[in-house]
Amino acid sequence: MVTTTGTSGNDTFSGILDTAAAPNDGTYQIGDVIDGGAGTDTLNLTLITGNPAGAARADVKNVEVINIRNISGGAAEFGAAQISGATQIWSSESNQDLTVSSVANLVAVGLNKTAKNITVKFADTVVAGAADALTVALNEAGTKAAASTVTVTNQTGAANVIEALTVSTTGSKTNYVDVNGVGNAVKTLTATGAAALEVTVNPTALVTVDASAATGGVKVTGTLIGTAAAGLTVTGSAAADQFTIDLTNKAVVNAGAGNDVVTLTAVASLTSTDSINGGDGTDVLALAVADAKTVAANTARTVITGFETLRVTGDFADVAADNFDISKFGINSLQVDGNSGNAANTVSNFTSGATVEFRLAADQVNALNIGMKNATDAGTDSDTLNIKLNADLVTQANANAAVEASNAFEVKVGVDGINILNVTTADRDNTDGATKATDGYILTLSSAANVTAINVSGDKELSFTSAATTNALKTLDATTLTGNLNVDLSGFGGTQGVEVKGGAGVNTITGTSLADIITGGAKDDVLVGGAGNDKISGGDGKDTITGGTGADVLTGGAGVDTFVIAAGDSLVATADSITDLAFGVGGDVIKFNGGATPAVAGNIVALSAAGQANVTAAATLALAATQVAIETSGVKIVTVFTYGTDSYLMYNNADDNTFDNATDALVKITGVTGTIDASNIFVA
């Protein structure tokens, strides 16, 4: 038996508990006496083996903070009948659940750096009143996957003994706690403290939720519904809060100054006596799709104020039943959490500059049509829509095996009359699993005949294929995109070429059949022109560039580049130009006459001085090419020659004295460095 007395300062005592079967094996034993004296004193107890089963131990008085660490290997019960004067009892750094029984006064209950649960049994007389108030203190409690639970009863096991609950937080990490076990008699819930809080509550009797003193942000899990008599009053914090409100009874909500999310249910009960205010910040009003239409049609919707974005959850119906007018909310920003119906749906009356964010990690069944006010009128050529592709990519799945392999899903958007699209790609939750460079989105546009410009940014991959009806497009600019870019404009139906600028990721770009300007980036890009006279620049990286038919200007840029000249692509009348060939071992490569991986080195044949003189004397470039064929012999030969002030590479597929448009090729070359080597030329 040991008696320990504290000083007038803030003292700390420590002890070890063992099992009920061996109560005196530890250092905290029957008969010990601890008197903390003056100051704010702390007792740190560790349960090391077995379960004390609530058995009495030392007599403790004047110690304000009791920290109990349960590492006994299983749930354990600590008996507090012989503790008086405590103001706080904590489960601290426990790896097992803890019950504290026979608590003699209404102490604060704490969870410190533990994901486990705590149950507190107060002496019956302590919680026998009609206004008993409890504080639950948290520091790094629970996890996102599993909140810690707090359960409170009296000693005989009766629940619903607390009427007012305060949850306070400290530390720098989010606290996750479920206080349903405190009971359904709680009328007021108050949140305080600097750390973020996600709290699950029992809303049965709640009439007041006050988070105004919380600075870390509060998310209340569970639907809050006031009583028929008193209604519900919710006050948010100055940080980012989330509340779900059932409007069956009167609700007065002021979400506060942060970027808040307020979800409304039972919206058919919305009346002019309700008040739903998002407060300052950029706030989101969340409604089920069908509820959005209901609220839009309700004249009492004017009691909903202070929101900048509307979020619709759930899938649109398979008919036009869920179409609604977003202007009724005074909002120009929409978040879509669900899928489109089997019939295309429309959200109407956006204005230019609107934002639509797609958040569902699945393919859109049909296009969601975005109706923009006056966008289809004559003379409106700058109507702008911001499209945010922002799903949680780690959970995504796709029925298409090829798409699933690249972890991308399709978003379909109808953009009738809209001219400028600003597209952003992102992963909404990067904390729940790493994503690959190929994770991202497939953007499919419908009713896109007026789209002239698409600008792409973000850090996830985007794939876009133009339809024949996307015929007004002039530019696609992805210079600020850090994810990969896949663009296919081969089906483009316009009469003008398109300028396409790649981003910092890997760019795979196929142009139109017209005169395009295509620019890659720093990675190893694959750039393909069409039938027009294209200008294609690879940028840095080991690029593969195919000009296609037409007189193309090709620039590899830094890196060892490959130029693909297919049969019929570069003829006398439509000779491609390569502006920066680096010849020599390890230099650039030209592949003639197609083939995915030509493996035959070109037969490089030099002209004699007399042969070059004969070529120079030719009256036309066509005759010069024929003269080159005459001056050289052999199959699949490549010859460098000059004509006028220009230099050319000519590929002669057969040993003949003519230039054959079906099999031969002529390429103008400038900016040449090094000396041509067999490793620079491959033929099919």
- Confidence check: pLDDT of 400 > 80: no
Does 523 reside within a domain?
yes
How many distinct structural domains can be found in the chain?
Answer: 2
DSSP string of 471-486, one letter each residue = TT--EEEEEEE-S-EE
Spatial distance between the Cα atoms of 70 and 91, rounded to a whole number of angstroms:
7
Q: Are residues 588 and 667 in the same domain?
A: yes
Answer yes or no: is 148 within a domain.
no
Q: Tell me, yes or no, whether 583 and 446 share the same domain.
A: no
Residue 321, pLDDT score: 76
- Helices 621-631 and 609-616 cross at an angle (nearest 10°) of 160
Mean pLDDT computed over 121-135: 97
User: Both 465 and 575 in a single domain?
Assistant: no
- Mean of pLDDT over the chain: 93
Q: State the DSSP code for 397.
A: -
**Does 115 reside within a domain?**
no
- Residue 89 falls inside a structural domain: no
The pLDDT value given to residue 27: 87
Q: Could you say which of 544, 577, 595 is where a domain stops?
A: 544
* Helices and strands (H and E) in the chain: how many: 4, 57
Does residue 90 form part of some domain?
no
Are residue 351 and residue 481 in the same domain, yes or no? yes
- Residues 570, 509, single domain; the answer is no
pLDDT at position 684 is 75
How much is the average pLDDT of 150-172? 97
The answer as to whether 569 is a domain residue is yes
Instruction: State the residue range of the domain holding 540.
Output: 336-544
570 shares its domain with 679: yes
- Per-residue pLDDT tens for 655-678? 788 999 999 999 999 999 999 988
Tokens 């009920």 -> residue = 20
pLDDT of residue 435: 65
Is the model's pLDDT at 413 over the cut of 90?
yes
Mean pLDDT value across residues 207-225: 97
The predicted structure's pLDDT at residue 133: 98
In a domain, residue 345? The reply is yes
Same-domain pairing of 535 and 677:
no
Burial class (CB within 10 angstroms; exposed 0-12, middle 13-18, buried 19+) of 604: middle
pLDDT at 149: 99
Which of 517, 544, 571 terminates a domain? The answer is 544
| pTM of the entire predicted model | 0.91
Q: Looking at the structure, do residues 504 and 652 belong to the same domain, yes or no?
A: no
Tell me: pLDDT of 205 over 80. Answer: yes
Non-local CB neighbours of 484 within 8 Å, separated by 6+ positions: 437, 438, 440, 461, 462, 503, 505, 506, 507, 508
Q: How far apart are CA 463 and CA 416, in angstroms?
A: 21
Average pLDDT over residues 444-457: 97
Confidence bin at 380 (pLDDT 50/70/90): confident
In a domain, 465, yes or no: yes
* 611 and 672 both lie in a single domain: yes
* Confidence band of 399 (pLDDT split at 50, 70, 90): low
pLDDT in tens, 266-311: 999 999 999 999 999 999 999 999 999 999 999 999 999 999 999 9
SS3 content of the chain, % helix, strand, coil (to 5): 10, 40, 50
Residues in contact with 275: Cβ distance below 8 Å, sequence separation at least 6, in sequence order: 251, 252, 253, 254, 303
Query: Which DSSP string corresponds to 90-111?
Result: EEES-SS-EEEEEE-S--EEEE
Using one digit for the tens of pLDDT, what is the confidence trace for 510-532?
999 999 999 999 999 999 999 99
